[in-house]
Chains A and B, each alone.
Chain A
C-alpha cells in the first residue's frame, strides 16, 4: 500500500542556509507527529508537502502524487492549518470555513452545510457567525482546524495547533485532533515542538533535527522494550523498601522510583522468577508488573544525540 507521504533525500535551502539536508521518511495511516525544535525545518517540510516550495533535490510524494508538479490536484485532498494567525478578522467563522470548502471543490450548498456541521464538530456551533477577529485564541485555533477538515480531506496538516492555548484549551484541541485522526478517518500530520502532545495523540513520529530525520516510525516500535521492569505494589514507601530489601537479598539490582514503585534491572533470564518469588514470599499486593518502555522524550534526546554525533 502506498504510504500517505514518502520523502527521499529531500534537500531544501533558503539562500545559503540549509533547512532540510537529505530528509527521508514515510508517513502511514493515522496520526503522525512531526517533531523537532523550533527551526528544525518542520514548517518548510509542510510547505514541500503542499507543493508551495520545490525541493532543491530529492523527491516528495503525497497521496501518490508529486505536490510540486500536481499541486492543485494534490492540494484538493489536503487540509492545512498553519501555525500563524491566518484568518481575516472581519469575516464570520462560517463564511471563512465555507469559502475554504468551496475553494476545495465543494458546491456552494454543500459547502454551506458542511461549514456549519464542521464548526459544531469543533465546538463552535453557537459562535459560528461571529467575526473571527472577536474570537479568543482558542476559538480561532478551532476555526483553523474546522477549515482544514471541512472538505473531508484525505490528509490534514496541522502546524503547531496548540500554540497560544492555555492548558484546558490545549487539552480540548488534542482531543479534537485525536478525534479527527482516529474517528473521522483522516490521516493527520501534527507538527509540534512539544513532545508531550505528540506522544499523547500520535501513532507514529518523524523526528527532525537540524534538517535531518534522526528517527521515525511507529511510536510503539520506537519505544520498544528496555531491560528494566517496573514493579508497583500496594502500601506505599514502606512496602517498596521491603521489596528492595528482598530483591537485594537474592542479588537482584533495583531502585525505588516513587512510593510503592521499584525499577528492577533485568540482568539475566532468571530475574523475573526471582522477582515473582520475592513478591510471593513477602505477600505483597501487585498493582503493576511490566517492562519499562522508552518515553518519546528519551527517543527524541537519543535521536538528537545521534544526529549531533553524526554531524
Chain B
C-alpha cells in the first residue's frame, strides 16, 4: 500500500490574481520580442537574427581582441571609438530593422490573430505600444550593444577615453546615440509593415525605402547639385548625421563641403520619425478586425 493517488484535475475555476491591461501590454511585448529573435521557434527562424547580431557584434569583438594582442602605439587609429563604430553596424541595423518590424506586425494581420488581440484587454493603441516596445528592444541590441561592448572592452584594457569624466561622457553619448538610432529605425521600419500583411513585401519595401531614399538624395545633392538639403531625405544617412551631432562631430561630407546645420538635421529626424509613427498608428487604428 502506498499513499500515491492519481488526481484528475481537469478544467478548474480560476480564482487567482488577474493582472490587468498593463500585464497584457508586457505579455505582448515579450511575446513579440521572442518572435523577432526566433526564440522558442524552430532553428530556421533563428538564423537571420543570429546572423545580424554576429554582423553587428563581430567587429567589436575583433577590435577588443586587437587591443588585447597588439600594442596601442602600433594600432594607432585603427580601433574606432563608439561614436565611429556606428558606421560598422549600418548594414546590420538596416537588415535587422527590415526583418524585425515585419515580423512584429505582419503575421498578426495575415493570420487574423489581430482580432483576438483586440478581443483581449489590449486596445489598438496599447497593442501598437507593445509592438513598438518589442521592435525597439530588438533594434537596441544592435544600436547600443556593440558600441557599449567596445567601450567596456577598451576600458578594461586601459584604452579609450582617459579619466572617469571622459569615460562617463562617452558612455552617455553612446547610450543616447543608441537609443536615438533605435527610435528612428523602429519608427521608419514599422511604416511599410503597417501597409501590408506580407512579411516578404514589408522587408523588401523597408530596405528599398532606406536604400532608395539614400540613392535619390545623393543623386539630387551630388549629381544634380540641387543643394545639400536634399541629403536630409536620405533615411540611411539621416540617423548617422544625428549620431555625429550627439558625439559633437560635424557630420558626413556634403557637396558644398559645409556640414549640414544641426537644427536641420534634428528637425528632419524628428519630422520623419513623427510622420512614420503617425502613419503606423493611423494604419493600426483603422485596421479592420471584425465586422
A contact set with B: CB distance below 8 Å? 14, 19, 43-44, 46-47, 50, 52, 71-73, 75-76, 78, 80, 82, 84-90, 95, 99-100, 102-107, 110, 114, 117-118, 120-121, 147, 149, 151-152, 184-185
Q: A87-B111, A87-B113 are in contact. Are A114 and B119 (CB under 8 A)?
A: no
Contact yes or no, B11 A103, CB < 8 A:
no
Q: Is the CB of A43 within 8 A of B27?
A: no
A100 in contact with B115 given A107-B16, A117-B10 (CB within 8 Å): no
In the complex, which residue of chain A has the Cβ closest to the Cβ of B15? A152
Having A76-B121, A103-B28, one finds 5 other A-B pairs with CB under 8 Å, namely A47-B290, A52-B289, A71-B121, A99-B31, A105-B19
Interface centre among A14, A84, A99 (most CB of B within 10 A): A99
Find B112's partner among A52, A85, A151 (CB 8 Å cutoff).
A85
B291 interface contact, C-beta 8 A: yes
Q: Is B257 part of the binding interface, using a Cβ–Cβ cutoff of 8 Å? A: no
The 8 A CB mask of B1-28 against A (1 = contact, 0 = none) is 0000000011111101111110110011
Contact of A86 among B12, B19, B111, B291 (CB under 8 A): B111
Report yes or no: B111 in contact with A52, Cβ–Cβ below 8 A.
no
* B229 interface hit (Cβ, 8 Å): no
Encode contact with A along B191-227: 1 for CB under 8 Å, 0 otherwise.
Answer: 0000000000000000000000000000000000000
**Nearest chain A CB to B87's CB is how many angstroms away?**
36
Q: How many Å from the CB of B93 to the closest CB on chain A? A: 26
Given contacts A50-B118, A78-B119, contact A185 B13 (CB under 8 A): yes
Let me know if A104 and B290 touch, CB within 8 A: no
Q: Tell me, in angstroms, the Cα distance from A118 to B290 when the chains sit together.
A: 26
Asked if A103 meets B122 with Cβ closer than 8 Å, knowing A86-B112, A87-B113, A88-B111, the reply is yes
User: A110 vs B107: C-alpha distance in the bound complex, in angstroms?
Assistant: 26
Across the A-B interface, how many residue pairs have beta carbons closer than 8 Å?
Answer: 111
Given A43-B291, A75-B120, A103-B24, A86:B14 Cβ within 8 A: no
* A117 to B10 alpha-carbon distance, docked (Å): 6
Shortest 5 CB-CB distances between A and B: which pairs? A105-B18, A152-B14, A80-B119, A72-B121, A103-B120
A-B residue pairs in contact (CB < 8 Å), sample of 19: A50-B118, A72-B126, A73-B21, A82-B119, A85-B111, A89-B111, A103-B24, A103-B122, A104-B18, A106-B16, A107-B17, A110-B16, A114-B12, A114-B14, A117-B9, A117-B12, A121-B11, A149-B11, A185-B13
Minimum CB–CB distance from A106 to chain B (whole Å) comes to 7
Write the chain A residue with the least CB distance to B289.
A52
> Known contacts A50-B118, A99-B31, A106-B19; is A88 also within 8 Å of B113 by CB?
yes
B40 in the interface (beta carbon within 8 A): yes
Residues on the B chain within 8 Å of A73, using CB: 21, 121
B contact residues around A106 at 8 Å (CB): 14, 16, 18-19
Contact residue among B11, B18, B118 (Cβ-Cβ distance under 8 Å from A117): B11
User: In the complex, are the beta carbons of B13 and A152 less than 8 A apart?
Assistant: yes
Question: Which one of B14, B17, B27 lies within 8 Å of A103 (CB-CB)?
Answer: B27
Residues of B within 8 A of A87 (CB): 111, 113
In the complex, whether B117 has a CB less than 8 A from a CB of chain A is: yes
CB distance from A5 to the nearest CB of B (A): 15
A67 to chain B, nearest CB (A): 11
- When C-beta atoms are compared, the residue in chain B nearest to A103 turns out to be B120
Within 8 A of A (CB), among B89-130: 107, 111-113, 115-123, 126
